[in-house]
Amino acid sequence: MPHFLHTVVRTFLLGFSALTLIIASSCGGTSDKNKTEKTKTVSRTQTNKSSHKKRASRNERRNEVVRQAKALLNTNYKRGGNHPITGLDCSGYVRFVFRQAWGVVLPRTSLAQSKISKPIKRRELKKGDLVFYNTRRRKFSHVGIYIGNNQFIHSPASGGKVRIENMSMSYWKKRYNGARRVKDPMY
């Protein structure tokens, strides 16, 4: 085959391959939502595989809850909210964090979350434990996640954003209902 013709055929084949890739990625492509879901699935699968090799310590697992909780700092509050994009209320926030960190699906309300977790004394608090407050004239009407150093993180109320609070503040001290520990499915 003459050199000129060889160059033309080669250029055609490279162009055709590139065009095929472009068409395949645009026609049969997945939405960003599906890509995100697939990425999460892959990440969890990889995490599950690596957990068989070396099981994370309880402290590492608790730290993961805190890391996930802090990743949502400044997320808007929304009553009944279940997702950071649209906003989260206190129990929706706790539920989202635990699903991301441990794959655990907690109940939807703070009262229900208090009932499925183990009561602990305040002096026994560890990172990742749930702290409950009476903010609506009824017990267990508000929930947050203990992050250590007498602090908790929560989604406060309408017009607010996820933030860190000191449990020693008089407002929180007066309304404290107790603490609970979510069972870690790995232990």
Active site residues: 90, 142, 154
Whose tokens are 């979350």? That residue is: 113
The answer to whether the CB of 68 falls within 8 A of the CB of 101 is yes
Q: Is the separation of the CB atoms in 129 and 146 below 8 Å? A: yes
- Rounded alpha-carbon distances, angstroms, from residue 15 to 10, 18, 179: 9, 5, 64
Residues 9 and 4: their CA atoms lie apart, in Å, by 9
CA distances from 41 to 37, 38, 44, 103 (A): 6, 5, 5, 11
Which three-class secondary structure state does DSSP give residue 68? helix
Instruction: Work out whether strand 130-133 and strand 176-181 pair parallel, antiparallel, or are unpaired.
Output: antiparallel
